[in-house]
Amino acid sequence: MSTVDVLFPYYGDVELMKLAVRSVLRQSHSDLRLLVVDDGYPDDSIPAWFESLGDDRVSYQRNETNLGANLNYRKAVSLVTNDLVVMMGADDVMLPNYLEWLVDRAATYPHASVFQPGVVVIDENGAQVHGLVEQVKDRYRPSGRGVRILQGEELAVSLLRGNWLYFPAVGWRADAITSINFREGFDVVQDLALALDVTLAGGSLLLDDLAAFMYRRHSGSDSSWRALEGTRFDEERRFFLTMADEMDARGWRRASRVARLHLSSRLYAATLLPMAALKRNEKGVRNLGRHVLR
102 pLDDT tier (thresholds 50, 70, 90)? very high
pLDDT at residue 220, rounded to an integer: 52
pLDDT at residue 228, rounded to an integer: 63
pLDDT in tens, 160-213: 999 999 999 999 999 999 999 999 989 889 999 999 999 999 999 999 999 999
Count CB atoms within 10 A of the CB of residue 195.
24
Separation of alpha carbons 51 and 36, rounded Å: 12
In percent, the amount of the chain with pLDDT more than 70 equals: 96
236 pLDDT tier (thresholds 50, 70, 90)? very high
Per-residue pLDDT at 76 exceeds 60: yes
Among candidates 151, 94, 85, 139, which has minimal Cα distance to 118? 94
E strands, the chain, in order: 4-10, 32-38, 58-62, 84-87, 93-94, 114-122, 148-151, 171-173, 204-216
82 pLDDT tier (thresholds 50, 70, 90)? very high
Per-residue pLDDT at 115 exceeds 70: yes
Please state the separation of Cα 101 from the chain's center in Å. 18
Among candidates 15, 10, 18, 16, which has minimal Cα distance to 37? 10
225 pLDDT tier (thresholds 50, 70, 90)? low
3-state secondary structure of 260: helix
Q: Are 29 and 99 within 8 A, CB to CB? A: yes
Beta partners for 152?
none
CA dihedral sign, ordered 206, 217, 197, 171: negative
Helical H runs in 82-209? 98-108, 132-140, 152-161, 174-178, 190-200
Per-residue pLDDT at 159 exceeds 50: yes
**Phi and psi at residue 59, to the nearest 5°:** -120, 125
pTM of the model: 0.93
pLDDT at residue 1, rounded to an integer: 54
Q: Are 173 and 106 within 8 A, CB to CB? A: yes
Compute the CA torsion angle 269, 183, 176, 29 (nearest 10 deg).
Answer: -70
What mean pLDDT is reported for the chain? Answer: 93
pLDDT in tens, 197-211: 999 999 999 999 999
Separation of alpha carbons 186 and 232, rounded Å: 10
- Contacts of 127 by beta carbon, 8 Å cutoff, 6+ apart: none
Please state the separation of Cα 251 from the chain's center in Å. 27
Per-residue pLDDT at 114 exceeds 90: yes
pLDDT at residue 222, rounded to an integer: 45
Say which DSSP state 12 is in: S
Separation of alpha carbons 249 and 251, rounded Å: 5
Separation of alpha carbons 243 and 200, rounded Å: 10
Q: Are 68 and 189 within 8 A, CB to CB? A: no
Angle subtended at Cα 157 by Cα 155 and Cα 162, rounded to the nearest 5 degrees: 100
